[in-house]
Chains A and B, each alone.
Chain A
């Protein structure tokens, strides 16, 4: 089930979300990484970072609240140890880049310029801008556009640049437009949303960082809204739908809203085999609806009710039920 992100063609639309697939080695014990449309790395920064102290994750209803502090090995170690492993796996590698300043983003992108096997670069615009009181770059169109332009300039022309936005902004469409205007080939929507939890036993914040990023099915409606709005404004721009994708139908929801790929994040913590399962379920959901090509379904929710594109036949009666009855394949465990 092929799909495209700008110049990059993927064999399927299900990828990992940044920061949720480890180095790839952890997931490779559960399934063959070639089953992924693409592997997205944890955001890479110039220097190694230990991140925040524990507790960094807490469970919330249908979600996780995390304040990790962007831990990572830094670009040197990433190029030396993690990228070569991923390159061997025969899966497109999308490297997520982050920085505390414009210059740091550009530096990481420059270091990736000569690295073989970088299929695309994703710019994590939720990183804190130290020059702007630690507020995230993606909060306003101006800084977001500056970062995207800096990364675009430092990246090979044939390597697509995706801008990844968080929903905690005044006007997401304006930020998205600014990113596309300054060279983003696609958008990843969404990053986590800010939230807090207080531990009723200790009567203190549950996370060391006090506030953290909410992820998981709890944020899916927000993410679908963001994808829908941005696709309406920028119908030609490829969008990766992210936020609480846990089943094939969740993925389909994003596709109908306008995404041409989805990324699976927190669901991997619950079910490490989630990505290939979601792909199977998505394929089935499409075939039940007589949709032959993913592209035919992208943004279909924007069409008037009753509109059926010529390529798509109406679903036969009872097809949904039959699909649901089919027993699930046994999960492979390590």
Chain B
């Protein structure tokens, strides 16, 4: 979907997202739906392109978006969240994407290219039709690998399985990832093993938990270890969605770790 939104297009940095209201002006659906930005273009003063997975129209919110026609108005807030931090020097970057999450990587690839970085892609999904952007990755990447769980495209397995090989072949200095939480967890672990910094976008977690996208509702918190070694619950939308992979306590998502700042000492009943 392409939306004309000059102010958003102008300020957008790769890794940021937008939050759309669904269902029209008098909707009963209050939560916003967040979408990664695939591309911004200068056309019509500035456009924002989103890619969405309507899962056969099963999702009511996305189903509504699918029903929009040319020139319809959509209520969009953005750009939101923190972007990917970019390397200062022209280094070799590995961009790992899973499912529609891969959409966020193409704007990043463009920006890295302009900084004369080398860009390698690894795209992963369950099966061939779901893999997003394999063609574009081949066109713009210095290399592009694909892995599917059923082997219908590229290698057979998960991103974690082939990542060590891809890291070695590409000589990556830094790893960027966007996609399902399991993928991010595997990428962070492998990158740490190779001593590489990883930056991951936790959009799947945000999608499952968040309601506003703007940092107001506090719904999307996950545990992050700070520089001081203390774990804090931070918001995936406004403190993320891009986080340092090595700082996220992946095993503790969906919990309040007992050693987190302010963790309850006894189960309370506060609403």
Contact = CB atoms under 8 A, between A and B. Distances in A.
Q: Do A and B come from one complex?
A: yes
A297 interface: no
A52 B269 contact: no
A333 interface: yes
Given A48-B262, A74-B262, A271-B21, A59 B216 contact: no
Interface string B70-108: 000001111110000000000000000000000000000
Nearest to A266: B30
Contacts of B232: 50
Interface string B171-213: 0000000000000000000000000000000000000111110
Interface residues of A, number: 58
Nearest to A212: B271
B216 A21 contact: yes
A22 B215 contact: yes
B2 interface: no
Interface stretch (A126-134, A175-183, A223-231): A126-134
Contact of A55 (B80, B208, B260): B208
Contacts of A15: none
A133 to B, nearest CB: 8
Chain B's interface size range is 35 or more
B229 to A, nearest CB: 16
A95 interface: no
Interface in A250-303: 266-272
A54 B214 contact: no
Contacts of A49: 262, 264
Nearest to A61: B28
Contact of B218 (A51, A127, A334): A51
Nearest to B219: A57
B155 to A, nearest CB: 31
A63 B79 CA distance: 25
Contacts of B80: 334
B251 to A, nearest CB: 13
Q: Chain A CB within 10 Å — which of B75, B219, B232 has the most? A: B219
Nearest to A166: B271
A58 to B, nearest CB: 8
Contact of B261 (A50, A62, A208): A50
A216 interface: yes
A69 interface: yes
Contact of B216 (A51, A63, A127, A272): A272
Chain A interface helix/strand/loop/mixed: loop
A71 interface: yes
A53 B212 CA distance: 17
B138 interface: no
Contacts of B220: 54
Given A26-B216, A134-B268, A50 B211 contact: no
B77 A71 contact: no
A66 B11 CA distance: 32
A257 B262 CA distance: 40
A27 interface: yes
B216 A20 contact: yes
A164 B255 CA distance: 30
A21 B214 CA distance: 10
Contacts of B211: 57, 59, 64, 269
A53 B8 contact: no
A56 B8 CA distance: 29
Nearest to A72: B262
Given A59-B29, A59-B30, A62-B28, A22 B270 contact: no
A53 B262 contact: no
A52 B219 CA distance: 10
B31 interface: yes
Given A48-B261, A51-B221, A74-B262, A269 B30 contact: yes
List the 5 closest pairs (A to B, CB-CB), nearest first.
Answer: A134-B269, A48-B262, A269-B212, A57-B219, A50-B262
27 contacts: A20-B216, A20-B217, A26-B214, A26-B238, A51-B221, A51-B270, A52-B256, A54-B209, A54-B220, A56-B221, A57-B219, A59-B29, A64-B30, A68-B218, A68-B270, A70-B271, A126-B271, A128-B269, A208-B254, A209-B271, A269-B211, A272-B77, A272-B212, A331-B75, A333-B5, A334-B78, A334-B79
